[in-house]
Amino acid sequence: MSILEQKAAALYGEQKYPEALDIYLSLYKKSPKTEKYSIFCGNCFDALGDAEQAISFYKKASKLNPVSLTSLIALANVYYNHGDYKNSEKFSYRILKKSPDNVSALLNLGNIAYCRNDYETAFKFYEAVYKNNNASYIAVVNMANTCYDLKRYVKALDYARLALKLYPSSVDAYIIRGNSYIELGRYEKAENNLLRALDFKDNNPWIYNALSRLYQKTESWDRALDAGWNAILCTKETQKEQQINFGYLLYECVEEKGAETAAYYAAKWKNAFPDNKIVAYMAEAILNNKPVAKAEKEYVKQIFDAFATDFESTLSGLEYQVPEYIAEAVRQSFRRESFLPIKYLDLGCGTGLCALAVKPLLGWSEVTGVDLSEKMLEEAKKKHIYNRLIADDLSIFLETEKNSYHIITAGDVLTYFGDLQNLFNGVAKILNKKGLFVFSVSENNCNDNDYFLTPSGRFIHNNDYILRLLKKTGFEKLSMERKALRNEGDKVVYGYIVTAKKILTVEGN
Ligand SMILES: C[S@@+](CC[C@H](N)C(=O)[O-])C[C@H]1O[C@@H](n2cnc3c(N)ncnc32)[C@H](O)[C@@H]1O
C-alpha cells in the first residue's frame, strides 16, 4: 500500500469521508483502471450518502474486474440500503451464481423477503446462511425473528435461545423470547426475559412496548401505561411510530379501564410534546376538550403508510364490507347515459378496494384515485385499475381539481373528517349534474352532536347532519342504508351507505 493509500485508509477509518474521498479520487484519476480505487471512491460516496455516485463507481469497478465479487456485493448492499430491492435482488442473485453460499447475498435476499412480509422465503435464506455457518448469530437471530412473525412461537424461542448462546447479551434475542412467551400466555417468563433485555439496554423503546403489551394482557393498566410512557420517553420526539403506539394504548385503556386514567396520561402526553401534531390529535381524541374538524394529516399518513401492506388481510379479518356495499349502491343507482368513458373518482382510495368492486359495473371508464398515503397508493397501483393515482389531501385536491366526474365514491374515509361541509362542497363542484356521490359514514351512537371524535381517532357522524348537509350542498339523497361496516375489537361498527345525486350547481362551479 502506498503512503497516500495508507493515509486515505486511515482517514476513512476515522470516518473523515470527504478527506478520504479527495485522496481516492486523485488516485483514481491517475490510475482509472485500478479496480480498488473505484471501490474505495464508491465506499466514500456511500458513506457520504451519495448513492448515485457510489453505484456509478461500483459499476466501473465491476466492469474492470467482471469476476470479482467485491463490487457486486457493494452494489447489492447499496441498493438494499436505499430501498431499491429489485436491483439489490438482481445483484444478490448474480453473486449467488458465482458463489452459491455467499453470506452477504443470502442475508440481503432474506432481508428483502422479510421487508416484503414474505417470511417463509426470508426464513429459507437465513437458514441457508446458518447451514453453511452454524456460528452465525445474525442468521440465527433472524431465523428466530422470522419464526415469531410466522407465529411459530416455540421455534422462535428455540432459535432465540441459540442466538443467546452465540451472543449472550443479545437484546433482540431477549425481546423475541419475551414476545413469544406473551403469545404463549406464559407471562412470568415473558417478563423475566424482557427485564433481562432492559438490563442490557434500558433505552430501547421496543422493550417497553413489549412490557406494556404484557401488562395489558395481565390487566395491570398502571404498569402498562407506565411502560408505554417509558417507550416514548426513550425515543426521539420525532419518532412517529412510538407516539402512535402510545395513542393506541390510551385508546385501549379507555375501552378496558375507563376514561379517567387515560385522560390523565393524555394530558401529560400533550404537555410533554407540545409541538407534536400527532400527539395533539390523538390526545384530543381521548380528552375531547375542544372541537376538532378533521384528522391530522401527519397522523393519517403515518398510520396508513405503516399499515399499507397488511391493510387488506387485516380488514378481511374485521369483516370489512364497505367496498361491496358501495358497489351494490352503485349497481342500484348508476345508469350509463353516454357512450364516452365514465369518469370515476375514488376518494381516499387506499389500496383500491372500492374501485375494484365498482369499476366492473361502469363499463368503459377512466378511474382516478386520491389518497394521502403513498404506501397505500403503491398497493392500489398493483391492481392496474386506476388511470391516475394522486397523492394528496382530499381537502386540497377537491379545491384545486379541474376535471369533472360522473361518479365519486368515498369508502370509509369520511371517518377521518369531522366537519364535512367543505368536502361535500368540493365533491359537488366537480360532479357532473345528476352525477352520483356514494359514500360511507360511521354512525354517531354516543351523543347528539353532528360529529364526534372517538378515542380511536376516528369520527362518527349523526345521520341528520349528513342529510342536512347533502341538501345544503346541492345533493338529493337517493338512499341511506344502515349497515354493519366492520368490527372494531369485539364490537360491530354500524354506519350508513349513502347514495346522493347532484341536483344543483353550487357556487364556484
Ligand atoms: C380505511 S381506509 C379506506 C380505503 C378504501 N377506500 C377502502 O375502502 O378500502 C381510509 C383511507 O383514507 C385515506 N385518507 C384519510 N384521510 C385522508 C385525507 N385527508 N386525504 C386523503 N386521503 C385520506 C387514508 O390514507 C386511507 O387510505
pLDDT in tens, 116-165: 889 999 999 999 999 999 999 999 999 999 999 999 999 999 999 999 99
Q: Which residue has the higher pLDDT, 313 or 196?
A: 196
Q: Are 395 and 426 in contact (CB under 8 A)?
A: yes
User: Residue 505 pLDDT > 80, yes or no?
Assistant: no
Reported as a single tens digit per residue, the pLDDT across 58-97 is 999 999 999 889 999 999 999 999 999 999 999 999 999 9
Reported as a single tens digit per residue, the pLDDT across 315-361 is 888 999 999 999 999 999 999 887 899 999 999 999 999 999 999 99
End-to-end CA distance of the chain: 74
Taking the C-alpha atoms of residue 446 and residue 433, their distance in angstroms, rounded to an integer, is 36
**Average pLDDT value for residue range 184-193:** 98
Reported as a single tens digit per residue, the pLDDT across 20-35 is 999 999 999 999 999 9
User: Number of helices (H) and strands (E), helices first, in the chain?
Assistant: 25, 9
Residue 239 sits at the vertex; the CA angle it makes with 237 and 243, to the nearest 5 degrees, is 80
Cβ atoms < 10 Å from Cβ of 4:
13
pLDDT at 234: 87
Q: Kindly state if the Cβ of 389 falls inside 6 Å of ligand 1.
A: no
**Average pLDDT value for residue range 262-283:** 92
Q: Would you state the cell numbers that stand for residue 430, as one nine-digit string?
A: 366537480
Provide the Cα torsion 222, 223, 226, 232; round to 10°: -130
Task: Name the β-bridge partners of 498.
Answer: 439, 480
Tell me the pLDDT of the chain averaged across its residues. Answer: 94
The percent helix, strand, coil of the chain (3-state, each to 5) is 60, 15, 25
Q: Which residue type is seen at 193?
A: N
Q: Are 497 and 329 in contact (CB under 8 A)?
A: yes
Confidence of residue 429 (pLDDT cuts 50, 70, 90): very high
How much distance in Å is there from the Cα of 416 to the middle of ligand 1? 8
User: Residue 491 pLDDT > 90, yes or no?
Assistant: no
Pairing type for strands 342-347 and 365-371 reads parallel
How much distance in Å is there from the Cα of 172 to the middle of ligand 1? 34
* Atom number, ligand 1, closest to the C-alpha of residue 410: 6
Coil, strand or helix at 454: coil
* Atom number, ligand 1, closest to the C-alpha of residue 294: 19
pLDDT at 508: 46
pLDDT at 175: 97
Q: Which residue has the higher pLDDT, 491 or 367?
A: 367
pLDDT at 220: 93
How much distance in Å is there from the Cα of 81 to the middle of ligand 1? 29
Q: What are phi and psi of 237, to 5 degrees?
A: -55, -30
**For atom 10 of ligand 1, which residue has the closest CA?**
413
Distance of CA 240 to the CA centre of its chain: 11
pLDDT at 509: 42
Sequence-ordered alpha helix ranges (H) in 308-352: 311-317, 322-333
Coil, strand or helix at 35: helix
Q: Kindly state if the Cβ of 373 falls inside 6 Å of ligand 1.
A: yes
* Atom number, ligand 1, closest to the C-alpha of residue 440: 8
**Where does residue 76 rank: exposed (0-12), middle (13-18), buried (19+ CB within 10 A)?**
buried
* Atom number, ligand 1, closest to the C-alpha of residue 376: 27
Provide the Cα torsion 63, 69, 71, 74; round to 10°: 160
Q: Kindly state if the Cβ of 372 falls inside 6 Å of ligand 1.
A: yes
Taking the C-alpha atoms of residue 506 and residue 508, their distance in angstroms, rounded to an integer, is 6
- Distant-in-sequence, close-in-space partners of 91: CB < 8 Å, separation ≥ 6: 72, 73, 75, 76, 79, 105
Q: Would you state the cell numbers that stand for residue 267, as one nine-digit string?
A: 394530558
Helix or strand (DSSP H, E) at 123: helix 119-132
The residue count for the chain = 509
This prediction's pTM: 0.81
How much distance in Å is there from the Cα of 370 to the middle of ligand 1? 8
Taking the C-alpha atoms of residue 276 and residue 495, their distance in angstroms, rounded to an integer, is 31
Reported as a single tens digit per residue, the pLDDT across 438-486 is 999 999 998 999 999 999 999 999 999 999 999 999 999 999 999 999 9
Rg (CA), the chain: 27
* Atom number, ligand 1, closest to the C-alpha of residue 394: 20
Q: Are 164 and 170 in contact (CB under 8 A)?
A: yes
Taking the C-alpha atoms of residue 88 and residue 438, their distance in angstroms, rounded to an integer, is 43
pLDDT over 90 percentage in the chain = 85
How much distance in Å is there from the Cα of 446 to the middle of ligand 1? 23
* Atom number, ligand 1, closest to the C-alpha of residue 373: 25
Q: Are 444 and 461 in contact (CB under 8 A)?
A: yes
Confidence of residue 240 (pLDDT cuts 50, 70, 90): confident
Taking the C-alpha atoms of residue 496 and residue 330, their distance in angstroms, rounded to an integer, is 14
How much distance in Å is there from the Cα of 105 to the middle of ligand 1? 38
Distance of CA 109 to the CA centre of its chain: 21
What are the angstrom distances between the C-alpha of 431 and each of 225, 324, 475? 48, 22, 10
Q: Which residue type is seen at 447?
A: N
Which candidate, 82, 135, 134, 144, places its Cα nearest to that of 110? 144
User: Residue 50 pLDDT > 80, yes or no?
Assistant: yes
Q: Which residue type is seen at 5?
A: E
pLDDT at 145: 98
Q: Which domains does the chain have, with CATH numbers?
A: 303-502 (3.40.50.150)
